[in-house]
Structure 1
Amino acid sequence: MTTYLPQLTLPESVFQSLPTSILVPIALGTAVGYSTRPKDGIPRKYLSLKQPPLRPPPWVFGPTWTILYGLMGYAAHRAYFLGTSPFSLPSTIAAARHGTTLYTIQLGLNLAWMPLFFGMNRPILATVDILSLLGINGYLAWLWGAKVDGLSGWLLTPYLAWLSFATYLCIGTGYLNNWDLNSGEEDGKKRI
């Protein structure tokens, strides 16, 4: 089982407030998306890469991530609120608090993916990031679902499904582009 690490966990006030819990991941995701967006736009960069089958058009990602960030924020609030209630068992409280640390770590990994893939053109690092993200969220869904609140775990299911699809796209795009997302090699060095 994981450990609750206050240094690596969002403040409790984020989880206690439903609007804050929902808006923090949406705001952070939006900020990262706009700050790492290439000057010529992600759609142009995205469409210029060799893509695996079933890739969605670029406009699908913004609305999808907004919904998923909202669901994960609601799941986090619900798990924390129900799991740390004065009527909860000590094991449930511990699981809810452990989940807040995992949630914070996964949110950081989630926010790091776009800069790794699009900003720094590092598809191998982005793949390691998204595989870690998928594993942590699988464990978090189980932890919250089995030990805190079943609905909180189920609320992460659409996120896990999309992460699985995004992992396929990430690995497929990296592979099809020989793990080099630059149009040419920079300074004679291949980026990894």
Structure 2
Amino acid sequence: MTSYIPQLTLPSAIFNSAPTSILLPIALGTAVGFGTNRSSDQKRKYQILNQPPLHPPASVFGPVWTLLYGMMGYASYRAYRIGTSSSSPSLLLNNPSIVPTTYHTSTLYTIQLGLNLIWMPLFFGLRRPIEATIDCAALVGINAYLAYTWGTQVDKVAGWLMVPYVAWLSFATYLSAGSGYLNDWDFSEERIRMEERRKRAQGKDL
């Protein structure tokens, strides 16, 4: 378990506010998404690359991520509010370490939010599928731990709220690794041009 590191942790004022906890990851994720995919040409180039089976249409990602960001934000609010509240004597009696555990997980939550926000620039912006896949796999592990810890030691609702996020991250890891593998872990312009020529020669729509 990571230590509580104030410098790497969102302020308590954010965790103690449900609207702020929910809206912050949505706002940050939306900003990163627009900043990374602002060019329609960039999207077209990515779509030229080989995609793994079950790859959903691009229109699916925005609504799904918005919902999951909101759910994980609310989970962090519930876990922090309940876990740090001195007005929960039964929780403190059954689990004396609940307060330090909550602080530790608030640091871990903040770190995973940062890792989440850098995935899209790594994958689409810098075109580094290996690093992006490692990042995504790390997110699965961290958030599975958060879901388990919150669900078993702090608040069951917070734990369950993280489950869809962990499931989607697992699927995103598969998509990231699949795209990398099917394109020899190469998203360069040269690779894109090669795939474009190949698909045109085969009469496929781009």
Query: TM-score w.r.t. structure 2 length?
Result: 0.86
Distance 2:20 2:3 in 1: 24
- 2:33 is aligned with what amino acid? G
The equivalent residue for 1:51 is 51
- Structure number with the higher helix fraction is 2
Gapped runs of 5+ residues in structure 2?
A: 192-206
RMSD, matched Cα:
1.3
Q: CA deviation at 1:94?
A: 1.2
Change (3 A) 1:13 1:42: farther
CA deviation after TM superposition for structure 1 residue 98, in Å: 1.1
Q: Offset of 1:45 from its aligned partner?
A: 3.0
In structure 1, C-alpha distance between the alignment counterparts of 2:4 and 2:75, rounded to whole Å: 18
Contact 1:38 / 1:119 at 8 angstroms: preserved in 2?
no
Measured in 1, the distance between the counterparts of 2:10 and 2:165 equals 20
- 1:43 deviation in Å? 3.7
2:126 counterpart residue number: 120
Query: Which structure's CA Rg is the greater one?
Result: 2
Partner of 1:189: none
Tell me which residue corresponds to 1:11: 11
Residue number among 159, 169, 180 corresponding to 1:174 in the alignment: 180
Alignment check: 8 A CA contact 2:37 2:43 kept: no
Q: Aligned-pair distance for 1:34?
A: 0.7
The count of residues paired between Structure 1 and Structure 2 equals 185
Instruction: Tell me, in whole angstroms, the C-alpha distance in 2 between the residues paired with 1:153 and 1:73.
Output: 12
Deviation at 1:42, TM superposition (A): 5.2
Mark the runs of 5 or more structure 1 residues left unpaired by the alignment: 186-192
* 1:38 Cα deviation from its structure 2 partner: 4.9
1:137 aligns with 2:125: no
1:46 and 1:135 map into 2 onto residues whose CA distance is 27
Q: Distance in 2 between matches of 1:21 and 1:38?
A: 26
